[in-house]
Amino acid sequence: MVRFIEYFFLYLITVDEIKQDEKNRKFLFASIVIGALLVSFFGLLQLKYYPSFYDLNMMEEGWDPHINRLLSTWFDPNFVGGFLAFIICILFGIQISDKKFYKHPLLFISSLFLLFSLYLTYSRSAYLACGIGILVITALKSRKLFLLGMLTVTILFVTLGKAQERFLDLWESAKSILVQDGFNSYFNPDATSRLRVDSWQNALAIIKENFWFGCGYNAYKYSAWKLGMVADLEEHSSTGSDSSLLNIFATTGIFGFVAYLWFYMKALIIGFKNKTDGYNLGLTGALIALLAHATFVNSLLFPHMLVFFWISLGLLNASPNTPAHLSSRT
């Protein structure tokens, strides 16, 4: 809880820094983009020298092998992919909001590099999040752009080799979720989807037991242990649900859940009302993308993600009524 509050202070610091000097906005935005590029760069190095956690004996520490997937220093392709999708949506919103988009060659090159890195994560949740975010941005910008976005997403789906295979695996995911036979459910080609649904069901059980006030922030695993859902408190999967919203509901109760939704919706509304601003438009799509991603991965509470999340919100709220405050200056 203390760490979560400390990350929230990044939002307050961002707002304060911009109020003191408007030039800090450009510096903070550049820092976010550079941070994403560094995560991608180290991910490419990891993919070259350590393409599998088998090579580092990380399986003994409870990590998945993640063979031939971009993990970077975050050690998880799904979290990295969700983060990259978040940043890509922001960059995309800025670029399409400026008629003279060719003024932003560095942003365009950065977007391509991040997209390539996102592709190498082979994360279906990240692909889905990025696609939803971009479609939301194009829909808010114009109907023609939305149709073009739909066409682009379709073409990418048809042509991207291994990424296409990951999407086609959704059929197996559906079987994993719908089939009630325990053995077949857990050991079909996509058993992780069945395990994810079990995680959701466990969270709902904890919510039922602690509806009003929750089981306590960061105390999820103890409540799950008491209900017989986990056998070892040291397991990585014991600390929370695969859904951020369910995790928030289970740990803080209905009051915390409603408070969080109010905060998140307020950020979306501010971005939507000022969507003529390229950054606000991009962040609106990015927030929706992250919300979609957090349905499958606990990305809304992931510490590394929170650093960029709060700073990004600080850039949104610090001057929400200034038109094109980033798209015209960055």
pLDDT tens digits along 219-277: 877 777 787 776 665 665 656 677 888 888 988 899 999 999 999 999 999 999 888 88
Residue 279 lies in a domain: yes
Q: Identify the pLDDT of residue 327.
A: 41
Question: Are 27 and 68 contacting, i.e. CB atoms less than 8 angstroms apart?
Answer: no
Q: What are the Cα distances from residue 294, in Å, to 140, 168, 188, 287? A: 22, 21, 24, 10
pLDDT band at 40 (very low <50, low <70, confident <90, very high): very high
Q: Identify the pLDDT of residue 176.
A: 53
pLDDT band at 17 (very low <50, low <70, confident <90, very high): very high
The Cα–Cα gap between 216 and 25 comes to 36
Residue 94 lies in a domain: yes
Q: Identify the pLDDT of residue 101.
A: 55
Q: Check pLDDT > 50 for residue 318.
A: no
Q: Identify the pLDDT of residue 323.
A: 40
Q: Is 312 exposed, middle or buried (0-12, 13-18, 19+ CB in 10 A)?
A: buried
User: Which has the minimum average pLDDT: 212-216, 254-258, 259-263, 286-290?
Assistant: 212-216
Q: Identify the pLDDT of residue 191.
A: 52
Instruction: List Cβ neighbours of 269 (8 Å cut-off, separation of 6 or more).
Output: none
Residue 50 lies in a domain: yes
Q: Identify the pLDDT of residue 319.
A: 46
Q: Identify the pLDDT of residue 184.
A: 47
Q: Check pLDDT > 50 for residue 2.
A: yes
Q: Which tokens go with 140?
A: 């808010």
Residue 201 lies in a domain: no
Residue 129 lies in a domain: yes
Q: Domain range spanning residue 62?
A: 2-192+274-317
Q: Which tokens go with 155?
A: 């073409």
If one counts the domains in the chain, the total is: 1
User: Who has greater pLDDT, 266 or 321?
Assistant: 266
pLDDT band at 12 (very low <50, low <70, confident <90, very high): very high
54-65 per-position pLDDT tens digit: 767 666 666 677
Q: Identify the pLDDT of residue 5.
A: 86
pLDDT band at 310 (very low <50, low <70, confident <90, very high): very high
Q: Check pLDDT > 60 for residue 178.
A: no
Residue 156 lies in a domain: yes
For residue 130, the one-letter residue type is: C
Residue 300 lies in a domain: yes
Q: CA 80, 145, 152 angle in degrees (round to 5)?
A: 55
| Percentage of the chain exceeding pLDDT 90 | 38
- The number of residues making up the chain comes to 330
- What burial letters (b/e) apply to 92-122, b meaning 16+ CB within 10 Å? bbbbbbbeeeeebeebeebbebbbebbbbbb
Helix (H, G, I), strand (E, B) or coil at 180: coil
Residue 225 lies in a domain: no
